[in-house]
Copies of this chain bind each other. A is one copy, B any other.
Amino acid sequence: MLGFKPLEYRQTANTIVILDQTQLPEKEMYKHLKTVDDVYEAIKSMKLRGAPLIGIAAAYGIVLTAHSNELESILKAADYLESARPTAVNLSWAIKRMKDVAAKSKNLFEGLLKEAQAIEQEDRSACQYIGQYGSELVKAHAKIMVHCNAGALATAGIGTALGIIYTAESQNKNPVVYACETRPLLQGARLTSWELTKNRIKTYVISDNMAATYMPEMDLAIVGADCIALNGDTANKIGTRGLAIIARYNNVPFYVAAPLSTFDFSIETGADIPIEMRSEDELRKFNNKKIVADRAGIYNPAFDITPADLISGIVTEKGIIERPDRTKIERLKNSGLNKYL
């Protein structure tokens, strides 16, 4: 991607350098994470976010502790990092991989570094394939609605949903993107508009509640995912469910783009996916201005569940699962493509 890297591990300093996403689009500020506490805080406060990226960050976070070569303290750090955010399955998936490697490594630092690099490299490669497969869904001059940020800022590569758009652009299809701003933390407004325009993709930002106005013009809607259950129900950023309902009402194809690391085959349906509730203050204040009356309550779930029957297809690095259901996803599970789950 043009001119930024959301995360980079520097071996000589044993440091993770991240682009602080809470400062975008105003400031492009990088932060150096040197301890597991730094990594935990960065994930929790969403200085870095995006399901694949937090998996990678946690993997390198474990590497930060590995010089000690003490298995117990490494496993403790791993559990601590896993508790930072409950919904994105890529986080627990990456941590499981790291723990498995730790259990059988002699040189813990070397083994864990190699595994973190593999997780990062696989994610970069998955984004490329998702982009390739997904770009087949994009016709020339397509108008595409997206939500939150499932882009280069959320992965080690070109992104998932936005990876499809970058790939279509590289095929001279000139897609036009409508990005929902994504309250409360405005990842669509702040991050998606930033990375897309930096890469010369024509982008319009709308508030989430304008989706129903512009959906009839869309050729396609594409979103990312934080967890996909065995039956295809998908947890993604709050607002995805409403977007899927509005897309269906308008007969607009609604696709989920996610690497296989986002599937949790142990979860039967969306009803069993844990949904992170975040602080009331994300809705109660904005930039220190109070925007809700004190005596009113607030609900702030960070994710919602889109039922599989509203999803036209799931774009993975192994191809597109059209009209996802339990049978197709079980076939995927049993094909052994995703050996870590």
Interface residues of A (CB under 8 A from B): 25-26, 179-184, 186, 189-190, 193-194, 196-198, 202-214, 238-239, 241-243, 245-246, 248-249, 283, 286-301, 304
Question: Which residues of the other chain, B, contact A203 by a CB distance below 8 angstroms?
Answer: 293, 295-297
Question: Which residues of the other chain, B, contact A197 by a CB distance below 8 angstroms?
Answer: 293-296
Contact among B186, B214, B296 with A291 in the assembled complex (CB-CB below 8 Å): B186
Considering residues A190, A204, A295, which has the most beta carbons from chain B within 10 angstroms of its beta carbon?
Answer: A295
Give 12 CB contacts A-B under 8 Å.
A25-B291, A182-B209, A186-B291, A204-B299, A207-B238, A210-B299, A210-B304, A212-B242, A213-B241, A242-B242, A246-B246, A287-B288
Contact among B193, B194, B249 with A245 in the assembled complex (CB-CB below 8 Å): B249
Query: Which are the 5 A-B pairs with shortest beta-carbon distances?
Result: A209-B239, A212-B242, A193-B296, A197-B295, A183-B207
Contact among B181, B198, B238, B241 with A183 in the assembled complex (CB-CB below 8 Å): B181
Question: Which residues of the other chain, B, contact A246 by a CB distance below 8 angstroms?
Answer: 242, 245-246
Question: Which residues of the other chain, B, contact A193 by a CB distance below 8 angstroms?
Answer: 292-293, 295-296
One complex includes copies of this chain to the number of 2
Complex contact A207–B210 (CB within 8 A): no
Question: Which residues of the other chain, B, contact A300 by a CB distance below 8 angstroms?
Answer: 206-207
| Closest residue on chain B to residue A190 by CB atoms | B291
Supposing A186-B291, A204-B296 touch, asked if A304 and B241 sit within 8 A by C-beta, the answer is: no
| Closest residue on chain B to residue A242 by CB atoms | B212
Complex contact A213–B238 (CB within 8 A): yes
Known contacts A186-B291, A190-B293, A207-B208, then 9 further A-B pairs from the complex at CB < 8 Å, ordered by chain A residue: A25-B291, A25-B292, A181-B283, A197-B293, A206-B283, A207-B239, A212-B245, A213-B304, A286-B287
**Within the assembled complex, what's the spacing in Å between the Cα atoms of A214 and B277?**
14
Complex contact A206–B245 (CB within 8 A): no
**Within the assembled complex, what's the spacing in Å between the Cα atoms of A241 and B183?**
18
**Within the assembled complex, what's the spacing in Å between the Cα atoms of A204 and B296?**
6
Complex contact B239–A293 (CB within 8 A): no
Complex contact A212–B241 (CB within 8 A): yes
**Within the assembled complex, what's the spacing in Å between the Cα atoms of A209 and B299?**
12
Shortest C-beta distance, A151 to chain B (Å), equals 12
Shortest C-beta distance, A308 to chain B (Å), equals 15
Complex contact A242–B190 (CB within 8 A): no
Supposing A245-B249, A286-B286, A292-B190 touch, asked if A183 and B205 sit within 8 A by C-beta, the answer is: no
Supposing A245-B212, A296-B193, A304-B212 touch, asked if A287 and B287 sit within 8 A by C-beta, the answer is: yes
Shortest C-beta distance, A188 to chain B (Å), equals 9
Shortest C-beta distance, A295 to chain B (Å), equals 4
Question: Which residues of the other chain, B, contact A292 by a CB distance below 8 angstroms?
Answer: 25, 181, 189-190, 193, 205
Complex contact A289–B210 (CB within 8 A): no
**Within the assembled complex, what's the spacing in Å between the Cα atoms of A322 and B251?**
27
Considering residues A212, A238, A304, which has the most beta carbons from chain B within 10 angstroms of its beta carbon?
Answer: A212
| Closest residue on chain B to residue A239 by CB atoms | B209
Shortest C-beta distance, A16 to chain B (Å), equals 25
